[in-house]
């Protein structure tokens, strides 16, 4: 749970913030240990040489480094071919998606009729001048793959566990490496994530993502059920490929300049390809992309959602009049 300005944080959110502080301590440790990990074989695989090429005849683990990776656009990128995500039908004068008017294309063939109807109704809400509550505006923990919208991330790699930090609201995910999902998964906000390396690619498998009143898998209001299954594949890509991929993305989504990339960095980029399956919502599996380059920002901002909602307060803004970030009137400790 999260609290609005002036209210008292719940025990769950306090625990999350405590864990986040511990994770940030781990960031410093990761920086100190990165050179060691880069030269130490992990999980019986061979790390890539510093030049970025794989050792002859051996698989290589990608080193995502002590870096902030930037994806300065609000939505998912579409794959070059095959089924892709729902796109925004509201466009700006330049032809890009209108980030202030999120109207999903409910005719996308990946959608089953009930899901298409939900997206249609949420688009009508946007057209009416209101907004439908979503995990971001409600300061909720963000489900996978909705959370991929975050403009900046960091990845902390360890043999037994991997942590992904997101710049918005201190969120982070923990991924157990070389493990299996439990026989019975208890649904949670981020789901149960297990990972492994396939050569130069980090693969993360997530199930058990909890469904709530305002949860969705993208900024366009696409629903999901607890049958949701997401597979993420992260890999480093050449500089030119990263630039070209982001350029394609900017044709769909406007460039968010406040989260720009470092123009002087000519090293590798990082690309996430994710596959989404949910038999309760989709007619077929589909894929999306998120392309990252090194961020211009060299420090990690504190960004607390519950301290930045005053522009919504006191207004008939949401379609659900009861929609507001959770808050507590008194401490629970």
Residue, of 156 and 2, whose pLDDT is higher: 156
The angle subtended at Cα 11 by Cα 8 and Cα 14, nearest 5°, is 80
**What is the per-residue pLDDT for 54?**
38
For the chain, how long is the longest CA-to-CA vector? 63
pLDDT band at 56 (very low <50, low <70, confident <90, very high): very low
> CA–CA separation, 252 vs 220, rounded Å?
14
Mean per-residue pLDDT over the chain, rounded: 83
Residue 318, in any domain of the structure: no
**What is the per-residue pLDDT for 312?**
52
Residue 307, in any domain of the structure: no
Residue 64 has pLDDT above 80, yes or no: yes
Residue pair 267/277 in contact (Cβ under 8 Å)? The answer is no
pLDDT tens digits, one per residue of 21-50: 444 544 444 444 443 333 333 333 333 333
Residue 79 has pLDDT above 80, yes or no: yes
pLDDT tens digits, one per residue of 268-318: 999 999 999 999 999 999 999 999 999 999 888 887 887 766 545 544 578
Residue 191 in tokens: 């789901």
Residue 319, in any domain of the structure: no
Residue 253, in any domain of the structure: yes
pLDDT tens digits, one per residue of 86-139: 999 999 999 999 999 999 999 999 999 999 999 999 999 999 988 899 998 888
Residue, of 89 and 321, whose pLDDT is higher: 89
Residue 259 has pLDDT above 50, yes or no: yes
Residue 331, in any domain of the structure: no
Q: Which domain holds residue 202?
A: 11-42+61-297
Q: State residue 29 phi and psi, 5-degree precision.
A: -65, -35
Strands (E), 191-278: 192-198, 201-207, 229-237, 269-277
Mean pLDDT of 242-256: 97
Residue 330, in any domain of the structure: no
Residue 94, in any domain of the structure: yes
**What is the per-residue pLDDT for 5?**
34
pTM above 0.85, yes or no: no
How many distinct structural domains can be found in the chain? 1
Residue 152 has pLDDT above 80, yes or no: yes
Residue 5, in any domain of the structure: no
> CA–CA separation, 87 vs 105, rounded Å?
6
Percent of the chain exceeding pLDDT 70 equals 78
Residue 326 has pLDDT above 80, yes or no: no
Q: Give the closest residue to 228 by CA, choosing from 151, 156, 286, 289.
A: 286
């Amino acid at each position: 749970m999260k609290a609005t300005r002036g209210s008292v944080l719940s025990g769950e959110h306090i625990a999350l913030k405590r864990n986040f502080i511990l994770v940030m301590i781990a960031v410093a440790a990761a920086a100190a240990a990165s050179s060691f990990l880069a030269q130490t074989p992990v999980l019986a695989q061979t790390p890539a040489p510093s030049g970025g090429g794989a050792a002859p005849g051996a698989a290589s683990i990608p080193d995502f480094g002590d870096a902030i990776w930037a994806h300065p656009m609000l939505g998912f990128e579409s794959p070059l071919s095959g089924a892709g995500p729902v796109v925004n039908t509201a466009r700006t004068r330049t032809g890009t998606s209108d980030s202030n008017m999120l109207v999903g294309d409910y005719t996308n063939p990946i959608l089953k009729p009930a899901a298409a109807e939900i997206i249609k109704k949420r688009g009508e809400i946007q057209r009416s001048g209101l907004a439908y509550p979503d995990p971001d505006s409600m300061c909720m923990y963000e489900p996978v793959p909705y959370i991929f919208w975050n403009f900046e991330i960091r990845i902390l790699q360890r043999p037994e566990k991997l942590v992904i930090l997101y710049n918005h609201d201190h969120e982070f995910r923990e991924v157990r490496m070389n493990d299996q999902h439990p026989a019975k998964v208890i649904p949670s906000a981020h789901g149960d994530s297990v990972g492994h390396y396939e050569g130069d690619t980090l693969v993360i498998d997530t199930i058990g993502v909890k469904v709530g009143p305002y949860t969705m898998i993208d900024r366009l209001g696409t629903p999901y059920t607890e049958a949701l299954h997401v597979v993420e594949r992260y890999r480093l890509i050449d500089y030119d490929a990263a630039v070209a991929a982001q350029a394609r993305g900017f044709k769909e989504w406007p460039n968010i300049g406040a989260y720009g990339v470092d123009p002087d960095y000519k090293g590798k980029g990082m690309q996430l390809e994710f596959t989404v399956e949910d038999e309760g919502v989709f007619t077929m599996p589909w894929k999306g992309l998120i392309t990252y380059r090194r961020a211009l920002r060299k420090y990690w901002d504190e960004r607390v959602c519950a301290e930045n909602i005053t522009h919504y307060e006191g207004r008939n803004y949401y379609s659900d009049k009861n929609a507001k970030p959770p808050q507590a009137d008194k401490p629970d400790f």
